[in-house]
Structure 1
């Protein structure tokens, strides 16, 4: 389609402008600043498409994704933490688990030099004798670093328009890592697909470890009793002890559970012919779903996080550069990504809203053509 699809009509850019003095009346981009409570002072950019998909990019939270709605219905998860100002973050509190106090919204990224559970790892490569090792918390330092906003604009090309936000996040310390994340977030003016394009490069002159993870979080009403997780899975290589103890299905979800202990699965997901891994969440009645797709070569690991506790109730879909054993294990087995000065890694991920049974069944069929999945939990 060469033009715009808006409220059931196919329009050119000229025809749209004939009908409104400002296209922002139907879709657009807006910079805001949150101003109350723990969120006070956090800059954000709101993307709003004519199809009804709205996403907030949290500039001061590493360009992560906050609230997300489709036609007013929440798609992303809200934990109750709020989008805390990064100045409130305490990296070393609670045995390195203070990251959990920053966990809220559609996307919370892990990285840039560490993801997964914390611990102490060698830092002698940085050549600073007073710091022979570095201690990491859960999922690293990235989420509490403000970005430098580079671009927030509508990009018109003939009759097509893209809503684009771009920023860079620097994770650096003297005598340590000096990594940069450049993130571009795009949403078509009339679209339902959000595109993430991330580039991580090493600005420093020491060989530096790099790990990266997307904690993509979805909540009610997309997540509800009977919601199905659909993925082409060949094997589940690891799961938390709570899976055997509780036995809640990885595939078909129950309603909220009082006192539920998080369940985590590491699945081997088959890539399609284009090299993309593709998974989906679909409501029991097929009325609503979401598809997540990413480049399998750059993020070969994938986790499913179930937080089905009453008052929390969410599913996390987590493409990752590294397996669950984490930082120290990756260094030991040779799977750690090391970046020399000027080297970079690129990541491309899409999040697409699926509206109605036709859209959800089409995605289910596409995934099934790539591969099946087990009915039951691994034993």
Structure 2
């Protein structure tokens, strides 16, 4: 059954109420036609609850806009949803990735995440390519996808709204990796389900690193918004050098937009539930709205919290990652870099959930607290314990 307007409606009920289901919910394909976005194919999802989100086919099927009943969930940066043909991946010493950085979700990978890095190129057996140079967060997020399908899938009286596609990152004498992505939501609900497979289609042994940069904006992010996570220990903070408290912004409670704010990044070691799932949320108690991300610990063993609280760029990032914040070289040295042989793959299952009222917020907070009581201090002691990630090498 589909929950619409406070009623459980069968497929027949819905058909009797309108000439097309698209009056209530659906998926449609469109093309953006102005400014830096011109030419990008985009899928618009409406679940029937007041939830609307868009998927950029030509930017790795990442989720761009997201709103619930007029309240923005996702983040729009000054860069806009730039057409991939305008991307400057290797510019500005590797930081030009930031000129295409916007949206609720930006995928990072497929063979590199985090800051710039040069790695040995010997696995590709090509003499002139002695090193592989990586810019910030990898190439995948600005590669156009191949749309293999989208639409409505009726399963009895339930309707699944979905899309699927393939994004290829490949070169001669180098990696040939493929991202196969499916996004779906049951009509009448607020749970967006993301299923990714990263496959090595090439015949070279190839490294794989993966991260989602999930960016929550105002009004979910606002003064006194709270970050909730089942934190066993706070491992690391990028700003913990000479003055950990310099900006007087801790990890738990967010301030209003700040002038001259320097980004802060934390790594938390999180606890999974009995099913291996890890929930993290940002909630705005005053508005009764929140956003929860649920990942799997065996797929994303690491979690970062990104605070970009600068006026005009105000965002909070939830970042599940395959690797520690220590970076690419450290992952190699520690034997924690994933290597994929031909046809080998890794799978990632993630849920984005809109917490629509105070009851949903309370339920999420209780679920998280049942796993671990996060530190009560704004500036907890940092353990420095980057737990070894097994099963790799």
Q: TM (normalized to structure 1)?
A: 0.98
Mapping for residues 179-328 of structure 1, pairs under 5 Å: 179-241=177-239, 243-285=244-286, 287-328=288-329
**Other structure's SS at 2:58 match:** helix
Q: Answer yes or no: is the 8 Å Cα contact 2:53–2:67 preserved in 1.
A: yes
Give the conservation status (yes or no) of the 8 Å contact 2:88–2:99: no
Deviation at 1:286, TM superposition (A): 6.0
User: For each residue in 1:31-90, what CA deviation from the matched residue of structure 2 results, as whole angstroms up to 9, or x when unmatched?
Assistant: 010000000000010110111111100000011010001012110011121100001011
- 1:15-40 deviation digits (Å, cap 9, x = unpaired): 11001110100000000100000000
Q: 1:245 is paired with a residue of what secondary structure?
A: coil
- Equivalent positions of 1:1-379 (< 5 A) are 3-241=1-239, 243-285=244-286, 287-376=288-377, 377-379=379-381
Q: For residues 248 and 201 of structure 2, what CA distance do their matches in structure 1 show? A: 46
Looking at structure 2, the residues matched to 126 and 120 of structure 1 have their Cα atoms a distance apart, in angstroms, of 14
Measured in 2, the distance between the counterparts of 1:6 and 1:284 equals 25
Q: Please list every run of 5 or more consecutive structure 2 residues that lacks an aligned counterpart in the other structure.
A: 382-393
In the alignment, the residues of structure 2 paired with residue 314 and residue 177 of structure 1 have an alpha-carbon distance, to the nearest angstrom, of: 33
2-structure distance, mates of 1:320, 1:245? 27
Structure 1: 5+ residue runs without aligned partners?
Answer: none
For residues 374 and 364 of structure 2, the distance between their equivalents in structure 1, rounded to whole angstroms, comes to 15
Contact 1:286 1:361 in 2 (8 A): no
Aligned pair count? 377
Q: Do the aligned partners of 1:225 and 1:284 also contact (CA within 8 Å) in 2?
A: no
Three-state SS of the structure 2 residue aligned to 1:60 is coil
User: C-alpha separation between the residues in 2 aligned to 1:5 and 1:90?
Assistant: 44
| Counterpart Cα distance in 1 of 2:357 and 2:336 | 41
2:51–2:68 contact (8 Å) kept in structure 1: yes
Deviations 1:151-179 (A, max 9, x none): 11100011000000100000000000000
Q: Whole-Å Cα distance in 1 between the matches of residues 63 and 8 of structure 2?
A: 30
Displacement of 1:378 in angstroms is 2.6
- Aligned equivalents of 2:230, 2:9: Cα separation in 1: 38
